[in-house]
Amino acid sequence: MKLFSDLLRRLALWVLLVGGLGAVMSMLLGTAEVVGNQILLIPVPGARELTESTMVLIVFGALAYAQIRRSHIRVELLYLRAGPRGRAALDVAADLFALLFFGLLLWQAINEARFSWQFGEATDGLIRFPLFPARIILAVGTGLLVLQLLIDTVTDIRRIFDGSEPPDRDPVAADRPLSID
């Protein structure tokens, strides 16, 4: 399982980084659109549609990695008061409910991606921008999360027995050293 877990971690990070590049692309496209459209009066065709599809990549691309870092937000009132085994049990419950929700979502996302591909779904308007890549990304991102949740469920069930802490907690973004000098 360790090998599978490491592989998934690496894959999740790569998908997230592709999403990051997508965000940079949206940033450049948006800037180009303002400069092109408003200042030079030259429209940038398809910028809007590409930005929309990239959004799906940014959100669903980072989904599995967010789970790996256990960053999803929860009410911690009970969690913080529980002992290590109690926390593990609460984590298992959270994993199972998340598996139910994202499992259902994955089922619908695969259906939607298949229809979109079959019917050549595209945006309305002057440029008919294909929508199936974004739909596939949504299904793939959700699929990766479901796999990660399965791994986490097994890990967390083990933790109930050995009373250990979860392997990875979310390091706060600002944890890196800063000084005023």
Partner 1 sequence: MLDPATAGIIVMVVMVLMLGIGVHIGVSLGLGGLLGIYLTIGPDAAWAQLATVPFSTTNSFTLAVIPLFILMGALATQAGLTTDLYRAAYNWFGHLRGGLAMATTIASAAFGAASGSTVVNAAVFTRMALPEMARFGYDKRLSAGCIAASGTLASLIPPSILMVIYAIITEQSIALLLVAGLLPGLLSAAIYMIGIYVRVRRNPALAPQPDLHISRAEKWRSLRGVWGISFLFVLVIGGIYTGFFVPTYAGAIGAFGTFLIVIAKSRLTGRSLVDTFKDAGVTTSVIFIIVIGGILFARFLTYTGLVNDITDTLLALGLPGFAYLAAFAVIYLILGMLIDPIAIMVMTLPVMFPIMVGVGYDPIWLGVIAIKLAEISLITPPVGLNVYVVRSASPIPLTLEDVFAGVMPFLVLDVITLALLIAFPEIVTFLPSLMM
Site for partner 1 in 96-155 (CB under 8 A): 97-98, 100-102, 104-105, 108-109, 111-112, 131, 134-135, 138
How near is the Cβ of 47 to partner 1 at its closest, in Å? 10
The CB density around residue 57, as the number of other CB atoms within 10 Å, is 25
- Among 74, 128, 158, 169, the residue binding partner 1 under the rule CB under 8 A is 74
Site string for partner 1, 34-53 (x = CB under 8 A): x---x---------x--xxx
In the block, which residue shows the tokens 């996302």? Answer: 109
- Does the protein bind partner 1 through residue 84 (CB under 8 A)? no
- Does the protein bind partner 1 through residue 62 (CB under 8 A)? yes
With CB under 8 A as the contact rule, which of the stretches 3-11, 14-22, 150-158, 161-169 interacts with partner 1?
14-22
How near is the Cβ of 43 to partner 1 at its closest, in Å? 13
User: Burial level of 171, CB count in 10 A (0-12/13-18/19+)?
Assistant: exposed
The CB density around residue 176, as the number of other CB atoms within 10 Å, is 7
- CB closer to partner 1 out of 1 and 173: 173
SS (H, E, C) 16-61: HHHHHHHHHHHHHHHHHHHHHHHHCCCCCCCHHHHHHHHHHHHHHH
Rounded Cα–Cα distance for residues 107 and 139 (Å): 8
- Among 4, 7, 72, 128, the residue binding partner 1 under the rule CB under 8 A is 72
